[in-house]
Amino acid sequence: MEAEMRSKPELQAAIRAHGRAVLMVNARSRRGRRLFDQARELLDAAGFDFARVVPVTDPGRLGAVFADVLEPEPDLVVVGGGDGTVAEAVGHLAHRDIALGVLPLGTTNNFARSLELPLDLKGAVGVLRDGKVADVDLGWFEGTPEDGAGESHKHIFANMVSLGLSVDVAGRVPHGLKRVLGRSAYAVTAARLLAGHEAFRATITIGDHTYELATHQLNVANGAHHSGQRIARDASPDDRLLAVYRLGDQRRLRLASATARHVLTGPWRSLDEDAFMTCTEVRITTDRPLRADVDGEIRGLTPVTIRLMGNALRVIVPNTFVDT
């Protein structure tokens, strides 16, 4: 039988009364290993008493570790790492009476930015101590297996599904460059790969409407940020919407200019503009099978179906975050 969910104030009260809490830090993330000791000191000073502290040095074991630490049903799971670590966490925490706390220790930290969390460690710990429990949306992805056999690939995601150039970039950006340049390493790699990238045609089905377009890059966002940049001023992981948008058309230079415009105007443009299609479910097919990047991991090929999971995750956010 499914456990009864407490109200958000009840869960928040349990956490502040030093309820059951665990800490997991991806020590292989960009800053995880370097800041692990500092994070422990700040959390101790903030009054947190963790039943378990788990530094994870093998990202391939994240799933098994999550399953283990969640077995006793803690009130709070604090996760230190980047978007990949958060993506693993939300798959285990969706629709559960457990709050997620985030220490942003990755390169782009898109989900943390969407939650309006401070990106410095001291500020993030302050939110864990003084913030509130909110419930935010997640996405459900269903793609086609790469081998063409077996069941379709199904995954819960926090931030975004991407098709096109960014998928190639994510797989080929050098780790050493990421350590040196941070999120700028993605832009440098994209510029190198763009000259040889082939545009694709996509058919997008939303309800009874079908749209055809050509592009080098197509995104479906639940969160509010992509590559560390805001998508639109009114985009939120708690707006009960998926935002479908492309960057440019089939011309390579248009992709570059559209990306620049995205970076420069994201904080001011709105989801109501023609650049976006908003929905709660979308089906995408392409003129050739394309790999789909789901929160930083390749999760199968097109065709894909993506659905919204409203208010599916409980998370600690700043008190200024608008919780709907």
The two most distant CA atoms of the chain are separated, in Å, by 57
Q: What is the pTM of this model?
A: 0.89
Q: What is the mean pLDDT of residues 118-146?
A: 95
For 139-310, CATH gives 2.60.200.40
What distance in Å separates the CA atoms of residue 270 and residue 217, rounded to the nearest whole number?
A: 19
Cα–Cα distances (Å) from 243 to 54, 109, 191, 258, in that order, read 35, 19, 25, 16
What contacts 274, CB < 8 A, 6 or more positions away? Answer: none
At 205-226, the pLDDT tens digits run 999 999 999 998 999 999 999 8
CA-CA distance, 292 to 154, in Å (whole number)? 12
Model pLDDT, residue 261: 66
Q: Considering only CA atoms, which of 106, 83, 76, 84 is closest in space to residue 11?
A: 76
Token digits of residue 264? 């420069």
Task: Tell me the C-alpha distance between 93 and 82, whole Å.
Answer: 17
Does residue 147 have a pLDDT over 80?
no
**Residue at token pair 């150039």:** 165
Helix (H) or strand (E) holding 245: strand 242-246
Please state, in angstroms and rounded to a whole number, the distance separating the CA atoms of residues 275 and 246. 8
Query: pLDDT for 104-123, tens place per residue?
Result: 998 889 999 999 999 999 99
pLDDT (mean) for 293-306: 92
> Do 8-130 and 139-310 have matching folds?
no
* Mean pLDDT of all residues in 138-167: 84
d(CA 309, CA 131) in angstroms, rounded, equals 23
Q: What is the CATH number of domain 8-130?
A: 3.40.50.10330
Residue bearing the bigger pLDDT, 254 or 185: 254
- Per-domain residue ranges for the chain? 8-130, 139-310
Amino acid identity at 229: Q
